[in-house]
A and B are shown apart, each in its own frame.
Chain A
């Protein structure tokens, strides 16, 4: 893309992202009011059992005795200054809770994503180069299998196999409890804990990326510029890497953006299975405690993460592919 058009492109995408985030805040607000019962007790996270003085304070704070649009304005102002409410259960602001847990979730989803893309693209390339052979069929079967398997069950089966039967890997947490580790030992300890959760979360997307890469590579391989490259005498390995794969990766980037939300949703399940101390686990604990303030905060933060990730993939796509329309 012409670099001079980049600021305009960024601005348009930024505005679009801002509108989506605003809509999510409104959505949260509507949910608080659509819930059965008193909105104040939803915010407090305790139906019926909350302290009456506390509820009165919440009503004042959120202006619950005022018209709806005034309430929405108060709520919006709060969220946009990162005041996501207060978890009465944990006696901490929601944003503090989420901020503490964010690195663990980013580590888990990042590792799973890297594994899924690297392994998926490799397998997809292999399948495309050996179309119709048994290697191709095996990759297709693996993809079909992971499409149909519940994520949390894959996690449990890995625990059963690698932790309970083989006793190779730890089955829960992010670090060994009760041991003080430093330097490289601490990193290795976390890596050992990370392996199973990241594998669980990554396997499904590996299947997705393998199928996608296979399909687009077959499509690109038929095109004229590939034939031209071959006719020029470019070595086969280089044709695959520089001409086919590079073009076939574009849909993979788009898809990564689309799948970002699902990856975060999946991390809730995986973190629950492996007691991984991220925001997914936070959401699960909030669920058990009916701590709605935390749940709403988690929904808001994960949505913002997805919107941000989409912005990055859009930009990446525009930079990588010169044909992309910047008007959109």
Chain B
């Protein structure tokens, strides 16, 4: 563990990313303390520029506090990112494990299915799913999970393919362990590091996807999100630049932090690869 931490720390970008991420999580956790009351309520006059009348980041066209919106939106973004990634991991790990462990016809079938989902324009598909199942937080999470599992399935399949013929798996088979037990207790723990690295990148892209959906007006109408804030600032950008600029910065920082942490995790979990990359760079 300390070894892991030492290697992670060596990547300076990753440490910066971790600090930013911790800040975003703190803002999300203490949103109700920092900005009591609903972010939908009017706090002051409309279009107050940043820094005036106690509005740190200005107010929007209905006099709502942009900073409060960002703080409360952080909860939704992080939550959607985490839950949809967890759901995508469930689908991807299951399918990847089936394909990689069973091989043969099952592998073929799963891989064709995965290829299909990788071919179709995923954002268009996500829009279609949310629109047809009406925009709610549930349908947004569902749509993001449905379009983001294929890379997981591919990675897990590749890991399982290389692990299933190792001696320790053969030993478990000889011992008469059931297939499911072998997959869950023997192979999966050994395939975890690429899954962990991948999932931090998936949370990042899920946050981007959610913001794009709510920018198009496909967010849950009852929830304040970053994409919604930018979308509502779009038509008045000549009048109130702060309405679109600050929520976008929040998305940028969060996603950048997650990407940096992902690279750090990759360095820490695959030291051999990190050295190779260090050698080439």
Question: Which stretch, A64-72, A88-96, A178-186, A285-293, touches the partner chain B?
Answer: A285-293
> 22 A-B residue contacts at CB 8 Å?
A24-B120, A27-B120, A31-B129, A36-B134, A132-B281, A144-B256, A145-B252, A148-B204, A149-B248, A149-B252, A150-B211, A150-B212, A150-B227, A150-B230, A153-B230, A156-B230, A157-B244, A157-B245, A261-B121, A265-B124, A287-B216, A295-B132
Residue pair B234, A20 in contact (C-beta under 8 Å): no
Q: Give B contacts to A, CB under 8 Å.
A: 116, 118-125, 127-129, 131-134, 204, 208, 211-212, 215-218, 227, 230, 233-234, 237-238, 241, 244-245, 248, 251-252, 255-256, 259-260, 280-281
**Which of A131, A157, A284, A288 gathers the greatest number of chain B CB atoms within 10 Å?**
A157
Q: How far is the CA of A269 from the CA of B227 in the complex (A)?
A: 12
Give the size range of A's interface with the partner.
Answer: 35 or more
Task: Judge whether A229 is part of the interface by a CB distance below 8 angstroms.
Answer: no
Residue pair B248, A153 in contact (C-beta under 8 Å): yes
**Which of A136, A147, A265 gathers the greatest number of chain B CB atoms within 10 Å?**
A265
Task: Judge whether A252 is part of the interface by a CB distance below 8 angstroms.
Answer: no
Q: Which residues of A have CB within 8 Å of B127?
A: 268, 283, 287, 295
**Which of A23, A136, A260 gathers the greatest number of chain B CB atoms within 10 Å?**
A23
Task: Judge whether A159 is part of the interface by a CB distance below 8 angstroms.
Answer: yes
Task: Judge whether A264 is part of the interface by a CB distance below 8 angstroms.
Answer: yes
Q: Which residues of B have CB within 8 Å of A268?
A: 123-124, 127, 216
Residue pair B230, A264 in contact (C-beta under 8 Å): no
Residue pair A299, B128 in contact (C-beta under 8 Å): yes
What's the minimum C-beta distance from A269 to chain B, rounded to whole angstroms? Answer: 6
Tally of A-B Cβ pairs under 8 angstroms? 138
Which residue of chain B has the shortest Cβ distance to A31 in the bound complex?
B132
Which residue of chain B has the shortest Cβ distance to A147 in the bound complex?
B259
Q: Which residues of B have CB within 8 Å of A27?
A: 120
Q: Which residues of B have CB within 8 Å of A260?
A: 121
Residue pair B248, A287 in contact (C-beta under 8 Å): no
Residue pair A159, B237 in contact (C-beta under 8 Å): yes
Also in contact, A156 and B218, with CB within 8 A (given A42-B132, A292-B131, A307-B119): no
**Which of A36, A152, A218, A266 gathers the greatest number of chain B CB atoms within 10 Å?**
A152
Q: How far is the CA of A310 from the CA of B121 in the complex (A)?
A: 12
Q: How far is the CA of A5 from the CA of B113 in the complex (A)?
A: 28
Residue pair B131, A287 in contact (C-beta under 8 Å): yes
What's the minimum C-beta distance from B207 to chain A, rounded to whole angstroms? Answer: 9
User: Is chain B's interface secondary structure helix, strand, loop, or mixed overall?
Assistant: helix
Q: Which residues of A have CB within 8 Å of B251?
A: 149-150, 153
Q: Which residues of A have CB within 8 Å of B237?
A: 156, 159-160, 164
What's the minimum C-beta distance from A169 to chain B, rounded to whole angstroms? Answer: 14
Task: Judge whether A194 is part of the interface by a CB distance below 8 angstroms.
Answer: no
What's the minimum C-beta distance from B38 to chain A, rounded to whole angstroms? Answer: 25
Q: Which residues of A have CB within 8 Å of B133?
A: 34-36
**Which of A150, A287, A298 gathers the greatest number of chain B CB atoms within 10 Å?**
A150
Residue pair B119, A266 in contact (C-beta under 8 Å): no
Interface residue from A145, A151, A261, A306 paired with B212 (Cβ < 8 Å): A151
Task: Judge whether A272 is part of the interface by a CB distance below 8 angstroms.
Answer: yes
Residue pair A303, B120 in contact (C-beta under 8 Å): yes
Task: Judge whether A273 is part of the interface by a CB distance below 8 angstroms.
Answer: yes
Task: Judge whether A262 is part of the interface by a CB distance below 8 angstroms.
Answer: yes
Q: Which residues of A have CB within 8 Å of B129?
A: 31
What's the minimum C-beta distance from B4 to chain A, rounded to whole angstroms? Answer: 23
Also in contact, A150 and B208, with CB within 8 A (given A36-B134, A156-B248, A287-B217): yes
Residue pair A20, B248 in contact (C-beta under 8 Å): no
Q: Which residues of B have CB within 8 Å of A272?
A: 215-216
What's the minimum C-beta distance from B121 to chain A, rounded to whole angstroms? Answer: 4
